Structure 1
Amino acid sequence: MTPREAEKIILADGWQLQEIQGSHHQYTHPTKPGKVTIPFHTKPKDLSKRTLNSILKQAGLK
């Protein structure tokens, strides 16, 4: 899964882009605690399984 595809999943769940620090996009949710960070420096390559799992856990989707 590419960073763009992971971003679509996060945005569909209600997360909103809060800030961009270098190549990392950070998202916040109006009701869920914490932030989700997606690294975009791997474009157009797929995210590693470990990174993808971390993103989904941060978002409360796994």
Structure 2
Amino acid sequence: MTRLPRGTGKDVVRALQKAGFFVDRTRGSHVFLKYPDGRATAVPVHML
């Protein structure tokens, strides 16, 4: 099984926005994204 490329939380947020998600809100170091049909996900954007 192939591995996913390594990336940051900001990279994941950017990719999801290209796929049609929009930033709903942020809380602490997590960004919550929604899709127009109601699907939602949270992405941790921790600073190292």
Q: Name the TM tier (shorter chain).
A: 0.7 to 0.9
Question: Which one has a bigger Cα radius of gyration?
Answer: 2
1:35 aligns with 2:40: yes
1:7 aligns with 2:13: yes
Give structure 1 regions of 4+ aligned residues with deviation exceeding 4 angstroms.
Answer: none
Distance in 2 between residues matched to 1:23 and 1:39, nearest whole Å: 6
Q: Which one has a larger percent helix, Structure 1 or Structure 2?
A: 1
Query: How large is the Cα RMSD of the aligned pairs?
Result: 1.3
| Structure 1 residue runs without a partner (length 5+) | 45-62
Q: Which one has a larger percent strand, Structure 1 or Structure 2?
A: 2
| Structure 2 residue runs without a partner (length 5+) | 1-6
